[in-house]
């Protein structure tokens, strides 16, 4: 909740596609345009797995997005790119029986950050993983704060300092507070000028997961 206006979370609907395309541009100014989702991508994502696509609204204005899909994922062989694993952003890699929810995107409009919208979107994802009895959530995470330190240290050193609480990263620090753990770094995950194409590999473990589905 904001101080004056409640934030609501619901699943994506077709009327959202154009507004979500504008949200992508506002949220990711340093990403290469091929990494940004557009209305055609959202249409496919909604068709493939509507239950996995969440939008945040302040009144009727879309101010956030949490998107993703189910997939089998080997944490011991994590190498992949954002475009590859997301089916070129169409989410055609969605596997209804996949063991994990792959978090493709959490984005909050720059004017609305600090209002716990990201926390609500993560909660919606976690609730989905619990409801479908999935092992958890995996994702590649941006490290936007690295832009200010990349001339002083490697991305690995930067992430280690964030993990130790010596540095704050707007994305990674928030993910850690939401129960995610870092399993390593992925190079050339996506084209992002701020992070020199590096990303973290993060996992949230579903505490109620039942291997036999019982």
pLDDT at 76: 87
Q: Can you give the pLDDT at residue 1? A: 40
Largest CA-CA distance found in the chain, in angstroms, rounded: 51
Q: Of 185, 146, 150, which is closest to residue 168 (Cα–Cα)?
A: 146
Q: What is the pLDDT of residue 77?
A: 84
Comparing CA positions, the residue from 106, 179, 101, 92 lying closest to residue 133 is 101
Would you say residue 144 lies in a domain?
A: yes
Number of domains, the chain: 1
Q: Domain range holding 121?
A: 7-205
Q: Is residue 213 part of a domain?
A: no
Which residues have CB under 8 Å from 64's CB, separation 6+? 7, 23, 55, 56, 106, 107, 108, 109, 112, 117, 118, 120, 121
Averaged pLDDT, groups of 10, the chain, 214 residues long: 74 98 94 94 98 96 98 91 96 97 96 93 98 98 95 97 97 96 95 92 97 74
- Residue 210 resides in a domain: no
What is the per-residue pLDDT for 146? 96
Q: Would 33 be classed as within a structural domain?
A: yes
Q: Is 113 part of a structural domain of the chain?
A: yes
- Nearest in space to 57 (alpha carbons), one of 5, 113, 105, 4: 5
**Residue 4: predicted pLDDT:** 63
């Amino acid at each position: 909740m904001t101080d004056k206006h409640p934030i609501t979370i619901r699943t994506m609907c077709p009327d959202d596609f154009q507004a979500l395309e504008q949200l992508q541009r506002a949220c990711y100014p340093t990403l290469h345009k091929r990494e940004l989702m557009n209305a055609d991508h959202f249409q496919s994502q909604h068709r493939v797995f509507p239950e996995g696509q969440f939008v945040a609204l302040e009144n009727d204005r879309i101010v956030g997005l949490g998107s993703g899909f189910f997939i089998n994922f080997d944490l011991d062989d994590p190498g992949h790119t954002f475009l590859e694993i997301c089916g070129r952003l169409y989410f055609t890699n969605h596997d209804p029986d996949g063991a994990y929810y792959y978090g493709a995107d959490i984005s909050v409009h720059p004017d609305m950050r600090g209002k716990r919208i990201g926390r609500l979107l993560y909660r919606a994802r976690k609730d989905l993983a619990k409801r479908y009895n999935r092992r958890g959530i995996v994702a590649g995470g941006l490290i936007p704060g690295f832009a200010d330190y990349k001339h002083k240290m490697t991305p690995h050193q930067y992430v280690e300092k964030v993990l130790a609480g010596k540095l704050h990263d707007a994305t990674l620090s928030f993910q850690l507070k939401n129960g995610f753990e870092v399993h390593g770094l992925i190079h050339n995950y996506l084209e992002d000028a701020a992070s020199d194409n590096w990303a973290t590999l993060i996992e949230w473990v579903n505490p109620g997961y039942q291997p036999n589905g019982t």
